[in-house]
Amino acid sequence: MTPSLTSLGAAPAVPAAWPQTLPPDLLAGLDVPTPFLAGDLGLVADRFHRFGAALPRVRPHYAVKCNSAPEVLRTVHAVGGGFEIASLGELHMLLDVGVDPAGVLYSNTVKPASHVAAAADAGLWRFSADSEGELHKIAREAPGSAVYIRVRVDDSGSVFPLSRKFGAEAHHARALLHEAERLGLQPYGLTFHVGSQCVATSAWRQALAAVARLMRQLQRDGIRLEMLDIGGGFPARYGDPVPTIDQIGEVVEKSLDELLPYQPPLVVAEPGRHMVAETAVMVTTVLGREERAGEEWLYVDVGAYNGFMETQQSVGQWRFPLWSSRADHDVVEQVAFTVTGPSCDSSDTMFYGAALPVTMAEGDRLFIASAGAYTLSYASSFNGFPPPATWYRRSR
């Protein structure tokens, strides 16, 4: 959906705290009901260009789960990005925007059998796995396809660790590639994920060191990797500083050079959050303000259930940049608010101790920046409050 420029209205004033990366006229003419996510496709394209400059050897396969708005998928496709999916549903989203399944990676390690079969029928041929059971499933449903094994790595430097649910220990990953061969599959590669919103650049070096050891053992066994997939985890900027993509690129590129016994023909990554989080802002309206036992509460029309589920998974671990539409935003005293969503459930609450103008009142708008990742894709219609509308436009 592109913004309807026929619904021109007064553009909200751009507050002083507007994040540098967002175009100042992003909301111009967007006189539409809240809540909505407003994003800039030029920024999405820019992220891919910067990723390419920082990691010239690594081809990004965008993680569709992160933000699957068709405009975003089309932009990624147009700038030459590849894709990574978690389900057949995500493959259908890609088919709808003209992506060839043959270039898509299916990286969910435990998949519904019917999704494997249908993806293979559509032309997808590379699947990840981290267990014998999954290899047997792939051999049965998509015979002869290529598999890459997910290795468990240290993800303690991330906000959202993934290694408890996914990944095989190195010795097991080695056995799995042999088993793949026995089952008539192509032992194609290895993958890992350092955890989402990883802020420790050392995590990539450690993971690559572990993979390099495994590659040496596999080489002795007569298996050479066609693909090394370094996964996602590249962080986005919320309230606190994070390593830049250039800093991460330096560590990754150096580690690939120094640690690997040979360079696999294909090195890919599966970035999600880093590519889209900072490209969009959520625009919400204050429904009410109440004081409860000395605590200042703001009730807004977006909450954990219809957009900010991640605030439930990482309570207090990071802060979204917030500001308001109030003309006195930068002038009056700021006080700590508890910011909650519109539903009848208290776990709909997103932010605690959020500093906002003491004057905040019903009808004011609250802007939540860095909202482009894992918001819409998680949103439900709980309590009859639907997911926010999406307005992506291109500033350049």
Ligand X SMILES: Cc1ncc(COP(=O)(O)O)c(C=O)c1O
| Closest residue by Cα to residue 188 from 144, 141, 154, 232 | 144
Q: How far apart are CA 105 and CA 82, in angstroms?
A: 8
By CB under 6 A, is residue 300 in contact with ligand X?
A: no
Q: How far apart are CA 217 and CA 219, in angstroms?
A: 5
Written as six digits, the tokens of 262 are 């040979």
Other Cβ atoms less than 10 A from the Cβ of 184: the count is 10
Selected binder of ligand X within 71, 270, 310, 364 (CB under 6 A): 270
Segment interacting with ligand X, rule: CB under 6 A, options 227-235, 285-293, 310-318, 324-332: 227-235
By CB under 6 A, is residue 106 in contact with ligand X?
A: no
Segment interacting with ligand X, rule: CB under 6 A, options 4-12, 225-233, 293-301, 320-328: 225-233
By CB under 6 A, is residue 232 in contact with ligand X?
A: yes
By CB under 6 A, is residue 167 in contact with ligand X?
A: no
By CB under 6 A, is residue 81 in contact with ligand X?
A: no
By CB under 6 A, is residue 189 in contact with ligand X?
A: no
Selected binder of ligand X within 41, 66, 94, 180 (CB under 6 A): 66
What are the helix and strand counts (H, E) for the chain? 10, 18
Segment (H or E) for 392: strand 389-393
Shortest distance, CB of residue 42 to ligand X, whole angstroms? 21
Torsion 189-228-374-336 (CA) sign:
positive
Segment interacting with ligand X, rule: CB under 6 A, options 34-42, 96-104, 228-236, 300-308: 228-236
Segment (H or E) for 106: strand 104-106
Segment interacting with ligand X, rule: CB under 6 A, options 132-140, 174-182, 232-240, 328-336: 232-240
Q: Which residue is nearest to ligand X (CB)?
A: 232
Total number of residues binding ligand X (CB under 6 A)? 15
Q: How far apart are CA 123 and CA 126, in angstroms?
A: 10
CB-nearer residue toward ligand X: 232 or 342: 232
Instruction: Give whole-number Cα distances, 338 to 37, 322, 352, 365, in Å.
Output: 21, 12, 4, 15
Segment interacting with ligand X, rule: CB under 6 A, options 181-189, 264-272, 285-293, 329-337: 264-272
Written as six digits, the tokens of 221 are 């066994």
3-state secondary structure of 380: coil
Applying the rule CB under 6 A, the residues between 35 and 64 that interact with ligand X are 63
Residues that bind ligand X (CB under 6 A): 63, 66, 84, 107, 193, 196, 231-234, 270-274
